[in-house]
Amino acid sequence: MATTSMSREIVETLAISQGDIFKNVKYAYIDSEDDEKVNIIELEFPLAIIVSQACDVTFMGELHENLSGKITKFMPSILLCPIYDKRMLREVNHLSEINSDNIVEIVNEKFFTSKEVQVTDNDLLYRFHTLNVVRNKKPIIQEAVIDFKHCFSVPIKYLYRSSQYPSSFLNRILPL
């Protein structure tokens, strides 16, 4: 069964933490380079959740706020996983941006079959976690899937900048 998590709106004074969900997260990486050019690929994930260890996110938040801390605990970036609509996974549309930018040619294959959906809904498939999020008893995310195979990282400064804009910072999942 999909996990249903309670959430609360983010107050600007709260530090970023594990489980926070952001909207429209941009991720860029160097695809290739030679003596003449560098090919940078930029993707935008509609939703992404912080999955870095809570203690690491807390430390990096404190380092960002105080501009000082132990170098041995420094992490250059925070780990996130994209959250996809379950229907997009079934139709293999969750990777359409990669295909449209000619990064790789996507081969259509049967993916996320009804059996995989059932196994995922029972939280028995290690790659995916199904998720519903409610705030004040109203659903804000339904029939969503976290894909742990598509993890990526961004600098904490990017997340703090995004958290200052309510349109980018969706919610904080509360512990049940």
Summarised one tens digit per residue, pLDDT across range 74-111 is 788 899 999 988 877 766 666 665 544 555 555 556 66
pLDDT score of 99:
47
Query: What residue segments make up the domains of the chain, in order of their start?
Result: 3-166
**Residues 45-58: tens digit of each pLDDT:** 889 999 998 888 88
| 27: pLDDT strictly greater than 60 | yes
pLDDT higher at 85 or 168: 85
What pLDDT score does 129 carry? 83
First-to-last C-alpha distance (Å) of the chain: 15
Q: Which residue reads 């996974």 in tokens?
A: 89
Sign of CA dihedral 122, 123, 128, 134: positive
pLDDT reading at 18 higher than 80: yes
Buried b (16+ CB within 10 A) or exposed e, 128-165: bbbbebebeeeeebebbbbbeebebbbebebbbebbee
Please count the helices (runs of H) and the strands (runs of E) in the chain. 5, 8
Helix (H, G, I), strand (E, B) or coil at 30: strand
Name the token pair of 38: 């560098």
Residue 6 burial (CB count, 10 A): 15
Is the confidence at residue 164, as pLDDT, over 80?
A: no
pLDDT at 37 over 70: yes
